[in-house]
Amino acid sequence: MTMNKIIDKAINELPPQKDVAAWVEINTQHLSHNVQFIRAKIGPERQIMAVVKANAYGHGAVEIATYLLNSGVQHLAVATVEEGLELRKAGIKAPILLLNSILPEQISKLLDYQLTPTIYTVAFAEKVSIEAKQRGAELPIHLRLDLASNGLGMLPDQAVYQIKQISRLPHLLIEGIYTHLVSAYRQDAKQVAEDIQSFENVLSSCREELQARGVPIFRHVASSPSILNYPSAYYDLVRAGTCLYGLPSFVNQDGLLLKPVMSVKSRVCDIQYIEKGEMRGYYYSVFPESKVRVATLPIGYSHIPFLLLLKKPQVLIGGQKASAFGPANMSHLFVDVTHLPETRIGDEVVLLGAQGNEKLYAQDIIAETDLDISRCESICFISESIPRFFVK
Ligand SMILES: *Cc1c(COP(=O)(O)O)cnc(C)c1O
């Protein structure tokens, strides 16, 4: 399938009909808005690397990557070799950077599928170099610095030596050098400045080594919080994850500027009444103090894992909030619609997204859990059994 066919197929699908009981909606206009927002921030000269790991944060990696490459994004990043393979097998030709470390046994797949590894040890670089040589190939690589002692990358005091070693290895092309600015997630401006200075120090000590084929390489530091708050971290390209998807996964972000791309919706599949004092429920019990009206939704935590994090999930029905009677079951959720007498079987229900003037965004849901806002993207990991619709 060609790129455009993937997009056409994805986007020409009609919004879900009445016979779809639960679905994920991907709003491509919001995705474009977020790309334009990033573009306006960083200016026309720099490049954007779309981070589409974890199935594009649950949004659908092949479709999202295809759509973004058509919207002026030049690079992709994924976590694992398998995620890279999925994109290549779908016909995607753009550069794909692997952010995770990989097994020595996976090196041949890098060469088979032109995936760009992140390298931060001389020993691993040697292995890749040997295998590339055997194939008569030259493999682009990116080097990673670890400025936050998070165990992923070269430590600043060893980096210069290591980079000099790696740059001498044949059949490797150092195409990029980067770091993950963890301090930006904490909005720690002082630490951000120090980290950028450490990065600069390494760059200036390795000026010659970092000129693959005489051409300057891509230096990249910024992920979402830096794209929003720290222009000094922009360098040559920015790695955009949560902000592409409109997920404010750190404090202080002006959530109004980005638009959430994913919604999760379902339909009321049954309506019942529970009389005063009657008991219902499996693991929890409902003993209403007066007669209540119950809407049954055909979804549970097996479809929508974030429901498991909530003692009393909320949903939107008829443009208003309604609460479940207790935690979700594996495949059903019972919602109190006593205050919404208009509710009918087949009515649309929003579990993530907006309806009328009400909204339940990922940050609103995460606030009801024990998790930190930095885990906000986990709300978007929805079962593959729920169909995904790309809407304009
Ligand atoms: C996941 C990841 C990103 C994207 O981070 P966001 O905060 O989602 O923008 C960027 N860089 C690296 C190394 C990552 O692992």
pLDDT at residue number 283: 52
Kindly give the distance from the C-alpha atom of residue 223 to the centroid of ligand 1, in angstroms, as a whole number: 5
What domains are defined for the chain?
Answer: 28-245 (3.20.20.10), 262-391 (2.40.37.10)
Does the Cβ of 242 fall within 6 Å of ligand 1?
yes
For the segment 309-355, what is each residue's pLDDT rounded down to a tens digit?
Answer: 999 999 999 999 999 988 999 999 999 999 999 999 999 999 999 99
Amino acid at 137: A
pLDDT at residue number 9: 61
Does the Cβ of 22 fall within 6 Å of ligand 1?
no
Active site residue 282: yes
> What are the strands, taking DSSP E only, across 237-332?
237-240, 262-267, 270-274, 292-297, 314-317, 320-323
Secondary structure (3-state) at 202: helix
Q: What pLDDT band is residue 254 in, cutting at 50, 70 and 90?
A: low
Is the confidence at residue 67, as pLDDT, over 90?
Answer: yes
Does the Cβ of 224 fall within 6 Å of ligand 1?
yes
Tokens of 341: 């007498």
Is the confidence at residue 171, as pLDDT, over 90?
Answer: yes
Query: Mean pLDDT, the chain, as a whole number?
Result: 92
pLDDT at residue number 3: 57
Active site residue 230: no
Q: Which residue in 333, 350, 135 sits closest to 260, CA to CA?
A: 350
The atom number, within ligand 1, closest to the CA of 57 reads 8
Secondary structure (3-state) at 6: helix
Contact 335, 325 (CB under 8 A): yes
Is the confidence at residue 292, as pLDDT, over 70?
Answer: yes
Report the run of H or E that residue 122 belongs to, with start and end.
helix 122-135
Kindly give the distance from the C-alpha atom of residue 199 to the centroid of ligand 1, in angstroms, as a whole number: 17
DSSP 8-class letter at 364: H
Does the Cβ of 265 fall within 6 Å of ligand 1?
no
Count how many Cα atoms sit within 13 Å of the Cα of residue 367 in the half-sphere of its side chain.
9
Is the confidence at residue 25, as pLDDT, over 90?
Answer: yes
Secondary structure (3-state) at 336: strand
pLDDT at residue number 255: 59
Q: pTM value? A: 0.95
The atom number, within ligand 1, closest to the CA of 244 reads 9
For the segment 215-233, what is each residue's pLDDT rounded down to a tens digit?
Answer: 889 999 999 999 999 999 9
Does the Cβ of 144 fall within 6 Å of ligand 1?
no
pLDDT at residue number 365: 97
What is the rounded radius of gyration, in angstroms, for the C-alpha atoms of the chain? 24
Q: What pLDDT band is residue 277 in, cutting at 50, 70 and 90?
A: confident
For 357-378, letters b (16+ CB in 10 Å) and e give ebebbbbebbeebeeebbebbb
Count how many Cα atoms sit within 13 Å of the Cα of residue 339 in the half-sphere of its side chain.
10
The atom number, within ligand 1, closest to the CA of 53 reads 1
pLDDT at residue number 328: 94
Kindly give the distance from the C-alpha atom of residue 222 to the centroid of ligand 1, in angstroms, as a whole number: 9
CB count in 10 Å sphere of residue 205: 15
Q: Quick one: what percent of the chain has pLDDT higher than 70?
A: 93
356 vs 128: CA distance, rounded Å? 55
Does the Cβ of 380 fall within 6 Å of ligand 1?
no
pLDDT at residue number 213: 77
Tokens of 168: 């001498």
The predicted model gives 173-197 an average pLDDT of: 95
Amino acid at 105: E
Does the Cβ of 142 fall within 6 Å of ligand 1?
no
Catalytic residue among 9, 89, 161, 282: 282
Q: Which residues have CB under 8 Å from 123's CB, separation 6+?
A: none
The predicted model gives 5-25 an average pLDDT of: 74
